[in-house]
Chain A
Amino acid sequence: MTTPLAELHNRAELLAANLPPLMVAAERVAATVAQGVHGRRRIGQGETFWQFRHYERGDSIQHIDWRRSARSDSVYLRETEWEAAQSVWLWSDASPSMHYQSTKKLQTKLEHADLLTLALAALLVRGGEHVAPLGRGTIPSTGRMALNILAAALEDREEELAQRKAKKETDTGSLPPFEQVPKHGRVVLISDFLEPLEEINHAVGVFSNRGVDGYILQVLDPAEQSLPFGGRTRFEGTENEGNALIGRVEGVREDYKTEMAAQRRGLEAIARTAGWGFSTHMTDQPLQATLLNLYVALTATIEWTGTA
């Protein structure tokens, strides 16, 4: 006898049970990175006082702080901190292929992707930006609430996946969904991006064509990079792609590496065409380095657009 209310309550409990560790982990990753970046300390439009500086020719007279200037001979300008908030839509792939881990020692790609998503969001929120999960129609928000919404959305994908499986849909959600992201909005796509390049190009194109800026992060397992198998092996896809029998895996390893490099080059080309950033994260690498790269790259574009 389960009332809808009770079910909601159950789910909330589940969430509460699942989220904190993820959140804590994401916060911890974000914290270590934040100390290295020192936030968003630069001049811009905003309410908060930033610094005084000497008046230079060409400065707007409106910015002269007369009270300060009166205390000395020179004329001072009052500069405020830049406070223009940006909105970032985050998406991480939760398709079956992301559940892969080549050895027990490594975490799954999904865990890395989710951690990166949440940690990035935490960093952005700390910097005052607005974040929202992509494909949910949620309005970007900031603060602790925004993180909760994002985490809940990550959680929901699991159910969506199960529903898709139940309905036997062929689409496993391994490509980002489309959402009306405002121009100059930012999109971060985290996935293994092993789908055909044309499909990826199309999915990215719908955003970039509308002038949406973004970043593509490919998360890969080391086994997918090096194909460390041997002997006669039948490979089976994780998303009903079919299977492939290889007589001697050692013999095709180099060919495979070439294929993988080609895939990555293709992704790079797509990102370049769209004017997006691109990088690859391996699950045996530390999250911090990737997160720092991702964050720096993201804030650089923000700064660039901000000063433009």
Chain B
Amino acid sequence: MFTLGAISFVAPLALFGLATLPILWWLLRVIPPAPRRVRFPAIRLVMRLVNPEESSAKTPLWLTLLRLALITLVILGAAHPILNATNQFAEDGPLILIVDDGWASARHWNKRQTAFSNLMDQAERQGRAVAVITTAPGNADQSRAMESLLTADAARQLLGALQPKPWPVNRIATTSILNELKYQGTPQVVWLSNGLNDKPDGSDVAEFTSILQKIGDLTVLADTLGALSPLLMPPVSERDGLTISARRAASGVASSLSVRVRGEDGNVLTRQPIKFDAGETTGKLKLTLPAEIRNKVTFIEIENFNSAGSTVLVDERWRRRPVGLVSARKRSSSQPLLDNLFYLDKALDPFTEVRVGTMEELFKREIAMVVLADPGKMTTKQNDRLLRWVKLGGIALRFAGPRLASEKNPVLPVRLRQGSRDLGGALSWAKPAALAAFRQNSPFAGLVIPKDVRVRRQVLAQPSVDLPEKTWAQLTDGTPLVTAEKRGDGWLVFFHITASPSWSNLPLSGLFVGMLQNLVQLSRGIVGETGERILKPIQSIDGFGRLTDPRPGALAMKASDFLSGKAGPKHPPGFYGDETARRAFNLSPSITHLTPLSDLGAGVTRDTYQETREQDFRGALLLAAMVLAILDIIASFALRGFFTFNRATAALIALMMTPLIFSTAQAQTVVPDNRVQANDAREFAPALNIRIAYVKTGNSQIDNTSRAGLEGLAFIINSRTAADMGKPIAIDPATDELSYYPMIYWPITEDAPVIEPTTAIKLNRYLKNGGTIFFDTRDSSGGGVGADRLEEIARHVDVPPMTAIPSDHVLTKAYYLLREFPGRWTGGRVWVQRSTSQAAERANDGVSSIIVGGHDWAGAWAMDEARKPLYPVVPGGERQREMAYRFGINLMMYVLTGNYKADQVHLPAILERLGQ
């Protein structure tokens, strides 16, 4: 390899050919092009015109130059020049790529892709084997595929499919894979790092490089300091907005990043710069947002950084909900500490928007919770208004107080005794009571009760059967302190004390704030989350910071793990919970430090990522030489006078050039595309026909029966209906694309393995998008051994509630009218999805996504080449065979056409109308 600036030559020896150019110049000049030969009768006249000087004619200069250019191009092409060639490796062993594919690599992933391509090009040229090892923890099977030595082409495909992960890397964990790697010769190790240390002091990097250096010659590619990904921290709730902070790895010059705040539907709510001062690694941004806008925030990201680290999800915890304090009078400003509302305002203000006004004023706007802190007498009309609002989902929070007693019929969860109870007063023996621990079903469960909270006075509830159920908080002696009753979708909550410290010091404690906060959370319909609650993944953030469907392998998470949990393959960042309540799990809190890659030590080549893709000029040069050769031929013909330039000649030349132009255009298209094309042909083939797929069980007899049965069914369907079925196809649901098949026939064997969770995710997606799986337990009953096994293996699959086929089900009339559904056996039941809700009907056109039965239908359908049945039916008879075919046709029609036959229930009505 010989390098000249940005251009390198693979075969530099060929350049010596350039030395022959002067000789060629002389030769070309001396040997003129051969003359055109013409037989001509009037030769005698022509002979008189011959000029003796002309015989030593020379090649015209331009033609000589053309030919020299041609030869130069050929020589340069033979030397195989490459622009921006990557460093060439001297060792002859395999190429081992260590790829940091954690969140920090997403920012410049395309540069990494370029590096992959360059390295693979080089490995391909040199015929090296390649091992790819990714440092971010992934699913076990993936890393296993990577660790063996691959050809450059296979590795290119692997790397093309590689995506950054939304969690940090764990480099030390990969050393075990490195140790297992088997190879010959001295490997060349290239570490495509993310430019960050795992540990703040860089000890992990030092350890890792020393391990890599033991293996072979090490080159480390790292992002420049400025290109490192910043980390966006979850916002902190403030009274009037959110404070967003971001961290960067390099404290250098002052810089500014753009922060974009998005709402639920993805539209941008605001966009503001976050500034880093020179020498600072942390930048802060105060976002002042109106409560309505603030409540919409779900997604905050640093613009143009597209990584999981620069993206933060926001859930209800960051939202301020409007809380109304009902005040009949003006608040007395002279003695604020005696006012009930003062304490409520202080307690609610940090996390809610507090509005004060009369009930009528408050109900004019949307409001989550209304607090009635002993507002005085309420009219019946006001009470009705309040109850109506509560039933719609509001939370009415009432506090006891002197004025409550005067009300005849107050709106409360419990009936009260007359008067109040004094504890520890001058006339009482009892001491002020403390609070008892909250029960599990209380929304306050999990809150820590300070030891010094005492209640001196309270109102008492009339004992009743349901009082314990309604009690959310009680004193140590068992008297209820907070009672609540569900009314409609909302709650009526009653504090048996005042909101001012006159009856209790609870309003002065932090517990009061916590209780109110939990109640506000309750206002959205969630019972306050307890630590043991399991939250399912709803949406995940991918490596590029995009919100997508939950990652395969994402597991549910305990609510208590949200603050301490670290993002990883099991728990990728994203939303967890269910549709009514979801919590955001972010990557950035678990990343404690952000330090640039420390010094690597001696003997390590450190480089940055190149922007430019290697460009191989050989093809282009040889192509240009070919063009020149054609031009030379044309010119030689023209010199001999073979043709004059007219339209026909121009057309001919154009015709000759066309393939060249096309091939050039083709050569310019980016190379990596061929991976996609190669896959297309194989993957699209099943989509060209309607095919039933059957799942390979591994038992060859069952597989053969499935194939023969589905072929027989396809034959019957093709001969009796308009459907045009292709040949059935065997699939492995774990690896094959399922979306091409309208139905999958799945015979269950007693020893069938459990469906893997990753496969189950694929199957669930297939079912959700309209696919149908037909499980055949082949045990005659649909409720025997096979069914139990089916239940076991399909435990990860979303099996809807099932029911035996009702007599008016579409399957009984999709093509033939059927009353039973025999296969090889008969008498058992066939189970379909129960059509419970309207939503499910609409989702899949009412077609049951799963059909289960045990009649071994494939056995009944199976035919040999002569179209003779392969297996007898039991109890037997042509009628049963025919009915089995009919069921097969009905099934296929049901799967293909949906439930339109169900409309026949209206047929009598339609006929009646027509009769008129």
Contact = CB atoms under 8 A, between A and B. Distances in A.
Q: Are these two chains actual partners, yes or no?
A: yes
Interface of A: 97-98, 100, 109, 192, 194-196, 221, 223-224, 227, 229-238, 241-249, 252, 255-256, 259-260, 263
Interface stretch (B48-56, B404-412, B538-546): B48-56
B638 interface: yes
Interface of B: 32-33, 35-51, 54-55, 57, 638-642, 644
Nearest to B41: A97
Contacts of B48: 259
Contacts, number: 105
B54 A236 contact: no
Nearest to A174: B41
9 smallest A-B Cβ distances: which pairs?
A: A231-B641, A247-B54, A237-B43, A97-B41, A230-B641, A232-B35, A259-B45, A234-B35, A252-B49
B43 A242 contact: yes
A198 to B, nearest CB: 12
A243 B49 CA distance: 12
Given A246-B46, A252-B49, A256-B45, A231 B639 contact: yes
Given A100-B40, A235-B43, 8 more contacts: A97-B41, A98-B41, A221-B41, A229-B641, A232-B36, A245-B54, A256-B46, A256-B49
- Interface of chain A, main secondary structure: mixed
B54 A246 contact: yes
A241 B48 CA distance: 12
11 contacts: A100-B40, A192-B41, A194-B41, A194-B44, A196-B44, A231-B642, A232-B640, A238-B39, A241-B44, A245-B35, A246-B54
Nearest to A109: B41
Contacts of A235: 38-40, 43, 46
B43 A238 contact: yes
Nearest to A100: B41
A195 B50 CA distance: 18
Contact of B45 (A109, A194, A223, A248): A194
Contacts of B32: 232
B42 A194 contact: yes
B54 to A, nearest CB: 4
A224 B42 contact: yes
A196 B43 CA distance: 11
Nearest to B51: A247
Nearest to B56: A247
A234 B45 contact: no
Contacts of A195: 44
A233 B35 contact: yes
Contact of B641 (A100, A221, A223, A233): A233
B33 A232 contact: yes
A244 B51 contact: no
B38 A234 contact: yes
Contacts of B49: 244, 246, 252, 255-256, 259
Nearest to B40: A235
B43 A233 contact: no
A244 B43 contact: yes
Contacts of B641: 229-233, 249
Contacts of B50: 244-246
A238 B41 contact: yes
A109 B639 CA distance: 29
A241 B640 contact: no
A244 B45 CA distance: 10
Nearest to B39: A236
Contacts of B41: 97-98, 100, 109, 192, 194, 221, 224, 237-238
B523 to A, nearest CB: 97
Contacts of B55: 245
B356 to A, nearest CB: 104
Nearest to A257: B45
A238 B39 CA distance: 6
A234 B47 contact: no
Contacts of A234: 35-38
B505 to A, nearest CB: 116
B47 A242 contact: yes
Contacts of B33: 232
A233 B55 CA distance: 11
A24 B642 CA distance: 38
A196 B49 CA distance: 16
Contacts of A259: 45, 48-49
Nearest to B50: A244
A248 B640 CA distance: 9
Nearest to B57: A247
Interface centre among A195, A223, A236, A247 (most CB of B within 10 A): A247
Contacts of A246: 46, 49-50, 54
A263 B37 CA distance: 24
Contacts of A241: 43-44, 47
A237 B40 CA distance: 6
A88 B768 CA distance: 107
Contact of A100 (B39, B44, B46): B39
A162 to B, nearest CB: 19
Nearest to B54: A247
A233 B36 contact: yes
Given A196-B44, A244-B46, A247-B54, A233 B638 contact: no
A229 B640 CA distance: 10
Given A232-B33, A233-B640, A263 B39 contact: no
A198 B33 CA distance: 38
